[in-house]
Chain A
Amino acid sequence: MSIEDKVMAVEKAFGALKALGRDPTRLEFDEVISPTEATLEGRRTILLGTNNYLGMTFDADCVAEAKAAIDRFGTGTTGSRIANGTYELHKSLERRVADFYGKKCAVVFSTGYAANLGAISALAQRGDYLLIDADSHASIYDACRLSDAEVIRFRHNNPDDLAKKLARLKGKPGDKLIVTEGIYSMLGDTAPLAEIAAVKREYGAYLMVDEAHSLGTLGEKGRGLCEQAGVEADCDYIVGTFSKSVGTVGGFCVSDHEGVEILRSISRPYMFTASLPPAVIAAARQSFDQIEANPQLREQLWRNARTFYDGLEALGFELGPEVSPVVAVKLSGKEVAVRFWNALIEAGVYTNIAIPPSTPGALSLLRSSISAAHSREQIATALDIFAQVGAEMELIPASKADRRRLAAAQGALRIVTGGGSPARPIDKQKAHTEAKTAAER
């Protein structure tokens, strides 16, 4: 098959969906106003698809630290740590991440994707076994392709299936590394980590947990599902990203196993890509301070998540299995999902669309990610728009949308969306501070 043939095949697969409106892979925002708002096609739009769980992208302290780092250290490192050396900034961020988790060692990568690729492919080598949850993120699957280990899938969130597969490996030489996630990004469900940790102990395997969506969102200190499930000692390796709750870019692997330091010498995604620039490091470091110091942000996030989940459920939408910062609406097919996604954008709400084959169980989903920075008014307005558009498209009973409208008429506040009005200039840091103050209230 020629390159042109491959291009044609992709166009054929996605052309019909693109014809229904926008291309989800090429959406362009005019301006991002705050963690929760942007202008899109000239419309003020509520952002419900950013993974900006704590609204950290406009945190005043993070922004100030990033600016100061640029002034002092410049805009970049212009190469990898192997070639261009490690800056004190890199070391201080690694110490900060290790301290945050109460672990001995941390290795920082340039993205969360690279952290999974780099940690998994280097820790599991030829003769070893990788046991991965079937619904693992693409970065975990890609890491398996980069590793020479034998890869075994176990049924999603199913410790019994995992145990069965480990039992079949009994007596076989080689390390067994189980890879699971904290919060799964498509449906917002959490792993049964206590049970998985028990299986790991029983069979003498290692356990790696990807806390990409659970760092900052779960656990008393925000350390994620390992903390919340009380199994931090069983989690040999925790990987994660700075691109969600932390509000910038980068990834990490933390561990009490000092051998994790070997990643610096054998992990290709660590060794052969440019290291994080100073501004990013400074923002990430400050963000960990904020996550630690402001548990009220997490409380506000969960209040918002509960309100949004319950609101959508009351409207009659079919949702993911549990209340979570990731709220997924299940739809009957790809075309319906694309139409709904487009109609919500036109009404002033941006969500993520997820369709087969990148979704579990061939589901077509509209995925919202909730933030502590969303105001109550934004959550209410988003629900109103879901109700209105959902009823118009006959995805939910009109009676349920009417009920919400009647309730809203009794005094709910509104922010203006839609209508093509141009964005007014906003003090972005002031907006974030106001969100933080609202959370503290």
Chain B
Amino acid sequence: MATLDSVEDDIIRLLSEKVEGDLKLSADTNIVSDTGLDSVSVMDFVFELEDEFGITVPLDRISDVKTVRQLAATIHGLILENA
């Protein structure tokens, strides 16, 4: 079972493949304003997370998500719900 920390690490690993330049990603990284990704690219990134963790992420669950930490908490919560 994935832990909150391991989910956070996985998100940072997958997100770093998307982000151009030398940006150092952390739990506090704002996924839209810090990465240069537009909203559609972020939504498409969620598809990758769904495949990685074997879950579905409903739109309303991520509407208020801004940082990597918040996204990890949401994903981890969904993993627990589906366990």
Contact = CB atoms under 8 A, between A and B. Distances in A.
Interface of A: 134, 144, 150-153, 155, 161, 165, 168-169, 356-357, 359-362
Closest 8 CB pairs of A and B: A151-B59, A150-B58, A357-B38, A168-B56, A165-B56, A357-B40, A357-B39, A356-B38
B41 A362 contact: yes
Contacts of A168: 55-56, 82
Contacts of B46: 153
Given A155-B47, A168-B82, A362 B40 contact: yes
Q: Is chain A's binding surface mostly helix, strand, loop or mixed?
A: mixed
B60 to A, nearest CB: 7
B14 interface: no
A153 B43 contact: yes
Contact of A152 (B41, B43, B44, B58): B58
Nearest to A155: B47
A56 B25 CA distance: 54
A161 B58 CA distance: 14
B38 A362 contact: yes
A155 B56 CA distance: 12
A155 B40 CA distance: 12
Contact of B44 (A134, A144, A151, A165): A134
Contacts of A155: 47
Nearest to A358: B40
Contact of B43 (A134, A150, A165, A169): A134
A151 B38 contact: no
A245 to B, nearest CB: 28
Given A168-B55, A361-B40, 17 more contacts: A134-B43, A134-B47, A144-B59, A150-B58, A150-B60, A151-B60, A152-B59, A153-B43, A155-B47, A161-B47, A169-B56, A356-B38, A357-B38, A357-B39, A360-B40, A362-B38, A362-B41
Contacts of A150: 58, 60
A356 B40 contact: yes
B71 to A, nearest CB: 16
Nearest to B57: A152
A240 to B, nearest CB: 24
Contacts of B44: 134, 361
Contacts of B39: 357
A37 B49 CA distance: 48
A134 B44 CA distance: 8
B26 to A, nearest CB: 25
A359 B43 CA distance: 13
Contacts of B41: 362
Given A134-B43, A356-B38, A362-B38, A153 B55 contact: no
Choose among B38, B40, B47, B82 the residue with the greatest number of A CB atoms under 10 Å from its CB.
B40
Nearest to A356: B38
A328 to B, nearest CB: 16
Interface string B45-72: 0110000000110111000000000000
Nearest to B42: A357
Contacts of A153: 43, 46-47, 59
Contacts of A134: 43-44, 47
A152 B59 CA distance: 6
Interface string B13-52: 0000000000000000000000000111101101100000
Given A134-B44, A362-B38, A362-B40, A151 B58 contact: yes
A144 B59 CA distance: 9
A408 B47 CA distance: 47
A169 to B, nearest CB: 8
10 contacts: A134-B43, A150-B60, A151-B60, A152-B58, A152-B59, A153-B46, A357-B40, A359-B40, A362-B38, A362-B40
Nearest to A168: B56
